[in-house]
Amino acid sequence: MDKREELRRRQARIEAMGGPKRIERQHEMGKWTARERIQYLLDDDTFEEIGAHVTHRGTRFGMADVDAPADGVVTGYGRIHGRPVYVFAQDFTVLGGSLGEMHAAKICRVQDLAMKSGVPIIGLNDSGGARIQEGVDALNGYGEIFKRNTWASGVIPQITVIMGPSAGGAVYSPALTDVIVMVRHTAQMFITGPQVIQTVTGETVTAEALGGADTHLKRSGVAHLIADSDVEALDLVRKILSYLPANWMEEPPVAESGDPLGRSDVALATIVPDDPNKPYDVVGIIESVVDDRNFFPLQKGYADNLVVGLGRIGGRPVGIVANQPRVLAGTLDINASDKLARFVRFMDAFNIPLITLVDTPGYLPGTSQEYGGIIRHGAKVLYAYAEATVPKVTLILRKAYGGAYLAMCSRSLGADLVLAWPSAEIAVMGPDGAANIIFRRDIESSENPARTKAEKAEEYRQLFANPYVAASRGYIDDVIDPETTRAHLARALMILYNKHDERPKRHHGNIPV
């Protein structure tokens, strides 16, 4: 046979992956094949495959005769928005996308190349897990991948899309990456599946309820984004990457917009209600300050008392953290602390400045919080902010009480600039609580305790519940007119753009986990 013809024959066999029947079944399940997914994800005609001819070396359980094109995973590189990326995509049509020795070696190969070239890596997961026929060789393959995920953490962006099953220890490679996107109804992640759970604990649960996209977005906090289809999920990957640099030594990409930096917004003058107990939607403020009102939230649906996400100001990406007064009054709890700390570390790893919008009455009280370890989880927030060396700008909108004032990127924790609206209230605790403690005797001995308490609370409010005491000590750099917030934030970021900050040399810190 002509040698070029042989090459073409081999290529055609590899292209066909699991064959028409299995591909048809994949489509019936609402899923694309690995090759279809890669083609959609990358810029047109940019995909270069690596290791297409690799196949398994199994001989047991009838494997010697099994033809597994590309060993069930398509690997290579290409471009997104014109910028290079590495990619691997498991193909469920070949041995259920199961991970054997050579399948793992192919993933490790692109992980190594991505690290060496300082380029993001994207994993599209759709797999029955460890290839049962290969036993410990498959397990070893997972270990090699986890190790590389860990080494790559904070060096290059690692994005995972779960587009099918992800069971057992296989969930841990995704969990070690920066962002997990899940596809609703077709993606499921769990350590032990419904059958094992039924046998061991007697609980009955469906795979979807146990590990579907909504479960992991809203309950476990494992997923950062969910999509309704393969297309939507892959679009989200392209969007995330538009905010991220190729690696930790580069600056994030700039996307100029025509939105004037000095654009003022009268709506901000009245967005915070006079009544301190009235909620409002902090997302309105975020949208008002970012370019073209374009805000991209992460983990929306999980710990919604805190909002985190990406936007741009003057074309440059910024990470935004904000208490959400509409949910649990914007208190900080265990889940919000985890969400906040991880986001701050993600931004800091990739040179994205942080803006923190503060309106929180404090930590959520309760035995479930204390027993659940709010001390340990809350400490992550302090650690993450104090550790971060990117520009950090804090804006106090309304309440900043006690420990939560400190935690939300206060001056003492390392904020570079702290601004406040005139509605800001900075105190050790809320006026009612404060009056109850320091004026307890006056209140108890009063003929009208309720009135005395209200008067004393007002006295306390007049004294401390404003930004000026903190500003007089220099803890707040300026009190600004809310209408002009975008301009102030833009200028603050501009002056901090070349900020250089270092932490002491060490192996690594010991963040409370």
3-state secondary structure of 472: helix
* Residue 74 lies near ligand HXC (rule: CB under 6 A): no
Is residue 404 flagged as an active site residue? yes
Q: Least distance in Å: CB of 90 to ligand HXC? A: 11
- Would you say 57 or 278 has its CB closer to ligand HXC? 57
Q: Least distance in Å: CB of 172 to ligand HXC? A: 6
Q: Least distance in Å: CB of 39 to ligand HXC? A: 23
- Would you say 145 or 282 has its CB closer to ligand HXC? 145
Is residue 169 flagged as an active site residue? yes
- Rounded CA gap, 342 and 85, in Å? 23
Answer yes or no: are the C-beta atoms of 152 and 113 closer than 8 Å.
no
* Residue 197 lies near ligand HXC (rule: CB under 6 A): no
Q: Least distance in Å: CB of 11 to ligand HXC? A: 23
- Rounded CA gap, 214 and 83, in Å? 31
- Active-site residue among 135, 193, 221, 403? 403
* Cα 459 off chain centre by: 42
* Residue 142 lies near ligand HXC (rule: CB under 6 A): yes
- Active-site residue among 18, 78, 129, 168? 168
Answer yes or no: are the C-beta atoms of 163 and 183 closer than 8 Å.
yes
- Rounded CA gap, 234 and 232, in Å? 6
* Residue 139 lies near ligand HXC (rule: CB under 6 A): yes
Q: Strand pairing partners for 84?
A: 79
Is residue 457 flagged as an active site residue? no
User: Considering only 163-171, 374-382, 402-410, 445-453, which stretch makes contact with ligand HXC by CB under 6 A?
Assistant: 163-171
* Length, in residues, of the chain: 513
- Would you say 129 or 353 has its CB closer to ligand HXC? 129
- Rounded CA gap, 57 and 69, in Å? 12
- Would you say 209 or 495 has its CB closer to ligand HXC? 209
* Residue 168 lies near ligand HXC (rule: CB under 6 A): yes
- Would you say 25 or 503 has its CB closer to ligand HXC? 25
**Among residues 34, 41, 87, 95, the one that binds ligand HXC under rule CB under 6 A:** 95
- Would you say 166 or 410 has its CB closer to ligand HXC? 166
Q: Least distance in Å: CB of 136 to ligand HXC? A: 10
Q: Least distance in Å: CB of 210 to ligand HXC? A: 12
Interface map 115-134 toward ligand HXC (x if CB under 6 A): -------------xxxxx--
| Positive or negative: CA dihedral 149, 154, 156, 159 | positive
Q: How many residues bind ligand HXC (CB under 6 A)?
A: 15
| Positive or negative: CA dihedral 247, 250, 256, 262 | positive
- Would you say 86 or 190 has its CB closer to ligand HXC? 190
- Active-site residue among 114, 404, 424, 434? 404
* Residue 98 lies near ligand HXC (rule: CB under 6 A): yes
User: Considering only 41-49, 92-100, 278-286, 424-432, which stretch makes contact with ligand HXC by CB under 6 A?
Assistant: 92-100
- Rounded CA gap, 331 and 360, in Å? 5
Q: Least distance in Å: CB of 23 to ligand HXC? A: 12
- Would you say 184 or 239 has its CB closer to ligand HXC? 184
Closest CA to 409 of 498, 482, 304, 492: 492
Q: Is 82 left (phi over 0), alpha (psi -120 to 50) or beta?
A: left
Sheet holding 179-183, edge to edge: 48-49, 73-80, 83-90, 121-125, 158-162, 179-183, 225-227
Is residue 319 flagged as an active site residue? no
Q: Least distance in Å: CB of 169 to ligand HXC? A: 2
Buried-state track 387-412, b at ≥16 Cβ within 10 A, e below 16: bbebbbbbbbbbbbbbbbbbbbbbbe
* Residue 167 lies near ligand HXC (rule: CB under 6 A): yes
| DSSP category for residue 467 | S
**Among residues 58, 69, 76, 96, the one that binds ligand HXC under rule CB under 6 A:** 96
HSE-CB at 248 with a 13 A cutoff on CA atoms is 16
Answer yes or no: are the C-beta atoms of 390 and 343 closer than 8 Å.
no
Spell out the alpha helix ranges (H) of 242-373: 282-289, 334-349, 367-371
Q: Which of residues 170-189 bind ligand HXC (CB under 6 A)?
A: 170
DSSP 7-19: HHHHHHHHHTTT-
- Would you say 42 or 171 has its CB closer to ligand HXC? 171
The residues that are catalytic are: 168-169, 403-404
* Site residues, ligand HXC (CB under 6 A): 95-96, 98, 128-132, 139, 142, 165, 167-170
